[in-house]
Amino acid sequence: MSGRRILVTGGSRGIGAAVARAFAALGDVVAVHCSSNRAASEQVVASLPGTGHVVVQADLRDADQVRAMVDAAAEALGGIDVLVNNAGVFFSHPIEEATYEEWQRAWADTLGVNLVGAANVTWCAVRHMPRDGSARIVSVGSRGAFRGEPDSPAYGASKAAIAAFGQSLAKSLGGSGIAVSTVAPGFVETEMAGEHLEGELGDATRAQSPFNRVATPEEIAAAVVWLASSEAQWASGAILDLNGASYLRM
C-alpha cells in the first residue's frame, strides 16, 4: 500500500465519487463512505486504480456509527492523511409551504448530516491524522452559504456553518500541522442537482454563469485534490468559490 490515506464521505456518486477517482489516480488509497447505497460505493471502489480501497458505511446522523466508520477506515488504511467532508442532503422546505412536521424533519436531517455529521467525522478522523504537516481536511460547502437558499434554508444554513467550522478548525489545528479548507460550488452536474438541470429550469440554471453551463464533478474534485496537496498548506482557512462566476462576493 502506497500513497496517502484518504477518507471521502458521501463517495457513492457525484462529487464524492469523482474525488475518490481523482485521489486514486494519484496512487492514493481511498475509503469510500456511504450512508445506505453500499452497492454503488462498491462499484466506485471496484473502478478505482490501485489496491487497498475500501467501502465504509454509516448514517452520519448517528454519532456512534460515525465513530465506528472512521475507526474502520483508519484501520483498513493504516491511518488517515486526508478527510474530505463531502456527504450532504438537500430537502425542499419553503417556510410558507412546509408543514411544521416537514420543517422540523428537514432541519434535523439536514443539519444532522451536513453539519453535525461532518463535525463528528472530523473529530474522529483527527485522532488518526499525522502531525507532520501533511494532513488535510477539505469540506464541500456551497455558494448557497452566501447567496441564500429560499426553498431550502436548512441547506444554506448548514453550508454557512461548514464554512465557519472550517475556518475555526484552521485556527485550532494549524499548530498540529493540519490544514483545513472549504470549497463552495454552485450547481454541479450530479443526481443531487436533479430537476434543476432539466428543461427550462435547467436552461435558466446554466444561464446563471456567463459560461452557460454548470460544473462537472471532476472540476470540483480537481480543486479538492489541490487543497489536499503539499503545495496548499498556506490555503488553510480558505473558502474557494467554484461557481463559474454565477455568484460573486467580496
Catalytic residue IDs: 155
Strand partners, 29: 5
DSSP state of 244: T
**Residue 249 cell numbers, joined:** 462576493
Instruction: Return the sign of the alpha-carbon dihedral for residues 171, 247, 9, 232.
Output: negative
Rounded CA-CA distance 28/7 in Å is: 10
Q: Collapsing DSSP states into helix, strand and coil, what is residue 73?
A: helix
What single-letter DSSP state applies at residue 56?
E
Quote the cell numbers at residue 103.
420543517
CA 184 to chain centre: 10
- Identify whether the C-beta of residue 128 lies closer than 8 Å to the C-beta of residue 79: yes
Q: What is the distance between the alpha carbons of residues 44 and 59, in angstroms, rounded to a whole number?
A: 19
Cell readout for 170 is 484552521
Q: Provide the strand spans (E) within 11-118.
A: 29-34, 54-57, 82-85
Q: HSE of 154 in the Cβ direction (CA atoms, 13 Å)?
A: 24
Q: Enter the C-alpha cell of residue 36.
A: 445506505
